[in-house]
Amino acid sequence: MTLETVGFWVVATVLLASSLAVVLTPNLFHAVLYLAAALVATAGVFLLLEQPFLFAVQLLLYAGGVVTIVVFAIMLTERLVGERIAQTSRHVVNGAIVAAAVFVGIVGFLIGAPLGAPRPAGTVDTTAAIGRALVGPFAVTLELLGVLLVVALLGALYFARSEE
Partner 1 sequence: MTLPPAAWHAIEAFIVLNALLVLVAYVTLLERKFAARMQSRIGPYYVGRPHGWLQPIADALKLMMKEDIVPTASDRWVYNLAPIVFLLPCLLIFATIPFAPDLGVADLNIGVLFFLAVSSLEIVGLFMGGWGSNNKYALLSAMRAVNQIISYDLPFIFAALVPVLLAGSMQMSAIVAAQQGLWFVAYPVVGQLAFLAFLVATLAAENRVPFDILEAESELVAGFRVEYSGMKFALIQLGEYAHMLGTSFLGALLFLGGWLGPGPAALGPVWFLTKAILIFLVVTWVRWSFVRIRVDQILAISWKLLLPATLALLLATGLVVAMRGPGGA
Partner 2 sequence: MIGLPAYLILGALVFSIGLFGVLTRRNAVGILLGIELMLNAVNINLVAFARFNGDVAGLVFTLFTISITVAEVAVGLAIVIAIFRVRRTVEADRLDLLRG
Partner 3 sequence: MSAFTLELGLGAVMVLVFGGSLTSRGADRRWIAWLATAGILTLGIVSALVKPTPPALSGMFVLDGLAIFAKRLFLAATFIGLLAGIGADAVACGRRAGEYHLLILSSLLGMLVLASARDLILLFVAFELMSIPLYVLAGFLKGQDEAVEAALKFFLVGSVSSAVMAYGLSFVYGAARTTDLARVAQAFAPGQPLLLLGLLAVFAGFAFKIAAFPFHMWVPDTYEAASTPFVAWLSVAPKAAGFVALFRVYFEGMGDRVATWVPIAAGLAAITIVAGNLMALPQQNAKRLLAYSGIAHIGYMLVGFAAASASGTAMVLFYLVAYVFGNMGAFLVVEAVARSERSEATAALRGLAQRSPLLALAMLLFLLSLGGIPFVAGFWAKLYVFWAAAAAGLYWLVLLGAVLTVVALFYYLIVAKRMYIEAPDASAGRIRLPGTLALAVILCALVVVGLGLYPKPIVMAALRVAAPLF
Residues at the site binding partner 3, with contacts judged by CB under 8 A = 106, 109-110, 112-115, 137-141, 144-145, 147-148, 151-152, 154-155, 158-159, 164
Q: Which of 10, 84, 143, 149 binds partner 2 (CB under 8 A)?
A: 149
Q: CA–CA separation, 125 vs 53, rounded Å? A: 10
Amino acid residing at 163:
E
Binding interface with partner 1 (CB under 8 A):
3, 27, 29-30, 33, 36, 40, 52-53, 55-57, 59-60, 63-65, 67-69, 71-72, 75-76, 79, 125, 127
Q: Which listed option, partner 2, partner 3, partner 1, none, makes contact with residue 147 (CB within 5 to 8 Å by class)? A: partner 3
Determine phi and psi for 86, rounding to 5 degrees: -85, 140
Nearer to partner 3, 86 or 140 (CB): 140
Task: Report residue 142 CA to chain centroid gap.
Answer: 21
Min CB(147)–partner 3 separation in Å: 6
State the DSSP code for 76. Answer: H
**Cβ neighbours of residue 50 under 8 Å, at least 6 residues apart?**
122, 126
**Cβ neighbours of residue 70 under 8 Å, at least 6 residues apart?**
32, 35
Nearer to partner 3, 6 or 100 (CB): 100
